[in-house]
A and B are shown apart, each in its own frame.
Chain A
Amino acid sequence: MAASKTHRIDIARRRLLLGAGGAAAAAGLGLAPGRLFAQEPISIAGIYTVPVEQQWVSRIHVAAEAAKAAGQIGYVFSENTSNTDYPRVMREYAERGVKLIIGEIFGVEQEAREVVQDYPETAFLLGSSFLDDPAFPNLAVFDNYIQDASYLSGIIAGAMTQTGNIGMVGGFPIPEVNRLMHAFMAGVRETRPDARFQVSFIGSWFDPPKAKETAFAMIEAGADLLYAERFGVSDAAKERGVLAIGNVIDTQADYPETVVASALWHFEPTLQAALARVADGTFEAANYGLYSFMKEGGCSLAPLGTFEGKVPQAALDLVAEREAAIRAGSFEVAINDDEPKSS
């Protein structure tokens, strides 16, 4: 695996620097070794159960790559790690002395926590369906709490649908997916109170042909706007000439006539918050999901791009008003993790 190879080189270089740092301190240059630690890149490892192209993981990967390019961190990753293999890979990185491990443990909540306990010196920042727990002081959790942006994208969707019939295709009804769907629906109802929603889950994260077929069925049943939670949905919308709203990433470049707006997730605030705590030694159990909120800069509405001038001004005004209120803290988008149903 190429990733682990670079990793070993990284570690070797780090040891070398460590040695040099120690020597410098011993030579009495007046610098504490701890300070040298803080200045050199923090070594972090990403462990993902899917390829780094996947929407959700890509946001983490992009943020980490950017921090790496800025010289802030040393970053290696393992992608496509199956859940059964996940704890082993965690241990491997922890054993190698990585300072911070990021990843997602939605499928291995229990086993991952056992590993976390075995490596108290390593900081873990993992996507999880559960909240932080003081019993695991070195495990902080996060998730893409981008309901603020999803809500705003819903306001636009409600203004753009002609039929008031909106199709939503999801993978599995897990909290992260449900929450954003509900926020989106709440947004739609602001501009289209009588909207009807068709909700389907395809029971797979990666089956674009199936997502596409499901989206076709929704269009045939009258949907003229689709909430594209999965790859394949925007393709169906494009083929049949209806609109779509993107989620997590901006795909408008691929579907210029189709994707009106997208709710974007920015992992950077989450990562930076964790890095700051790792650097000053105050990393502890916490819910980093809060750093995905709009007021933290963790999410945003993608620029309208090709749909500039095509969205009714009244809706844009409402978006601007609500966005300002959300950022000011005077408006909160409800968080609802229940499974959404067709209406």
Chain B
Amino acid sequence: MEIFEILLSASFWAAVLRIASPLILATMGELICERAGVLNLGIEGIMVFGAFAGWIAVYAGLGLWPGVLVAFASGAMFGLVHATLTVPFGLSQHVVGLGITLLATSSAYYAYRLALPQVTSPPRITPFQPLNIPVLSDIPFLGPALFSQTALTYLAFASVAVVALVLFRTPLGLALRAAGENPAAVEAQGLSVTALRMGAVMVGSGLMAVGGAFLTMSAFDSFFFEMVNGRGWICIALVVFGAWMPGKALLGALLFAGFDALQIRMQQTPMGAHVPYQVFLMVPYVLSILALVLMSRRVEVPAALMVPYNRGER
């Protein structure tokens, strides 16, 4: 069976990590927001803007890492707009989020055209190159699969560890989770729910933007309109899939990427000549929905998710 051959090749697993990286970063961003009680539907647009901002910064002469910082900052800026409207003003998180997606997407397009009015093909940058980690990358199979990725992929995995650590092992994480479960209790501790939620949305949005920047600075080397192509929406689902737990969300991202890498390869097998390609393209989504159904049966949603907090109101 071809499927086993595919699963046993190191290049397949390397592809899984590559495809998963932007999803992991943006999913962690969304998870932080939702843990603090704010659904951030601005994710898709923020990823587009991050993809643009990081890339254009490098194109303008900045280094790659400063470019990542620019992407993060641009995401945080949209996060600030989102948080201002949804946290102190308590507006509908659905409407604001979708509005942010539209705003950030169009802003990226607009800025792109202002910066590059007359181009025949988008300029290219030198993106992050695969880093072969000494010793580890020489391990047979595991080396090429896991340890020959770009720095941003390693950053994505590190972000999961950091988010998990901060959320579950620090007072800040406790306060943040409480802001999403029982904001009145946070207030009783003398902490500001508004500050916690706004901070979470800004940092989370920054991570989303870095996820977008992965596409232009690691997976590819230039910016195209529509290249985020719905990845943001997948991350929203991955947060639910992961039951708001960073580790499980990581698993979800890897699973989705795995299905995607698999379907790309299955299209090349003799089976691909008989099955319509649309079926293959559907596979990751269908299987993820199935997995979501199975996984989310005992999920606990943050109790105050999407509930605006007004001081003194009971």
Interface residues of A (CB under 8 A from B): 2, 50-51, 53, 58, 62, 80, 173, 198-210, 212-214, 216-218, 220-221, 231-232, 235, 249, 251, 254, 341-343
Contact = CB atoms under 8 A, between A and B. Distances in A.
21 contacts: A53-B122, A58-B120, A198-B267, A200-B268, A200-B272, A203-B277, A204-B229, A206-B224, A206-B225, A207-B227, A208-B219, A208-B220, A213-B19, A214-B264, A214-B267, A217-B267, A220-B9, A221-B268, A249-B120, A341-B273, A342-B267
B200 interface: no
Given A202-B281, A204-B226, A254-B124, 12 more contacts: A53-B120, A198-B272, A201-B277, A212-B219, A212-B220, A213-B19, A214-B267, A217-B264, A217-B267, A220-B265, A342-B267, A342-B268
Nearest to A205: B226
A201 B260 CA distance: 13
B18 interface: yes
Interface in B120-144: 120-122, 124
A213 B18 contact: yes
Contacts, number: 93
A200 B121 contact: no
B261 interface: yes
Contacts of B225: 50-51, 80, 206
B11 interface: yes
Given A220-B9, A220-B11, A209 B227 contact: yes
A58 B121 contact: yes
Contacts of B18: 213
Contacts of A251: 121
Nearest to A210: B229
B1 interface: no
Nearest to B219: A209
A235 B2 CA distance: 26
A173 B265 CA distance: 18
Given A50-B225, A51-B225, A200-B277, A213 B11 contact: no
A307 B124 CA distance: 23
A232 to B, nearest CB: 6
Given A80-B225, A200-B267, A216-B11, A235 B220 contact: yes
* 3 tightest A-B CB contacts, nearest first: A209-B219, A206-B226, A203-B281
A58 B120 CA distance: 7
A342 B227 CA distance: 26
B98 to A, nearest CB: 16
Contact of B15 (A50, A62, A207, A216): A216
B220 A213 contact: no
B187 interface: no
